[in-house]
Homo-oligomer: A and B are copies of this chain.
């Protein structure tokens, strides 16, 4: 068993903790919490051990949240630490982990230099025995899952990527513009994808005021043969990608996930919006939606497995997929939006 802890129990951390708890090769030794809030209470209700800064223990106990020890003690218990701290904090934590001789998995909000940029489908083998791995961000993960199979079958000359970002996550109460569209030319996504797979790419991001799903559009120029619509279905049949043909709004996808009874309406996959397919000459336009809160969860689990060399890529991805219900979610969403 691999002893794993989650340092930073927020949007990503809470989901990775759930998945780690359910994994046959992983023992979740606990999570860190820095404020005695509802998240801490609910973690305890779900049987997760909570570790807190020494000086905060009183605040947790007085709220009726049982504390299992200090954050320091939590880190000491782990073989691998999933660092899901706020952006930039992982960089400071890395020093601590290194001193303790611990392995760690960081998130895409950290700078690329913090560890091997990772996507399970694209470079699992490179991550074997790596002490520090960085799971790339949600959109970059979506691009890697989609572009990697494409590059294996077709020759891509260039990708222009244009992203419609959600303004804030559902649990955010601030941090987003209310009415405006905000754009960032030369967004990090192109270089981030290129830290994982070799593909010529440029990207731009537009931030808009909604909470669910990033919507990505790719304008791909192929060198020679390009995929037709049917080829897309064939190519992604066994990938961590759902193929939706009749969805017309992001809310329809969220509603379907709620109706299917999925915890937190997480679907863990980019949804290729097949009805957005357009082609001309050697070029293809194609859009996909990214469930920004959950898409990186499978990669966090696979990164733990890889850095502890516990399974092969195929076995790890199959195991992770099964415990998260990915093939079942994929099948049902594809049927619902066929």
Contact = CB atoms under 8 A, between A and B. Distances in A.
Contacts of A181: 164, 208, 210, 213, 215, 249-250
A7 B230 CA distance: 49
Contact of A164 (B160, B179, B206, B250): B206
Interface stretch (A15-23, A125-133, A279-287, A305-313): A279-287
Nearest to A157: B281
A280 B200 contact: yes
Interface string A247-282: 011111000000000000000000001011110110
B164 A208 contact: yes
A315 interface: no
Contacts of A148: none
Contacts of A68: none
Interface in A231-257: 248-252
B276 A180 contact: no
A162 B248 contact: no
Given A160-B280, A215-B206, A287 B183 contact: yes
A200 B278 CA distance: 13
Q: Within the oligomer, what is the number of copies of this chain?
A: 2
Interface residues of A, number: 43
Contacts of A338: none
Interface of A is mostly: strand
Given A185-B278, A276-B185, A180 B210 contact: yes
Contacts of A180: 210, 212, 249-252
| Interface pairs A-B: 6 shortest CB-CB | A180-B251, A208-B208, A219-B219, A182-B249, A202-B278, A181-B250
23 contacts: A158-B281, A160-B219, A160-B283, A162-B285, A164-B164, A179-B210, A180-B212, A180-B249, A181-B208, A182-B250, A183-B248, A185-B275, A186-B278, A202-B280, A202-B285, A204-B276, A204-B285, A204-B287, A208-B208, A208-B210, A209-B210, A219-B283, A221-B221
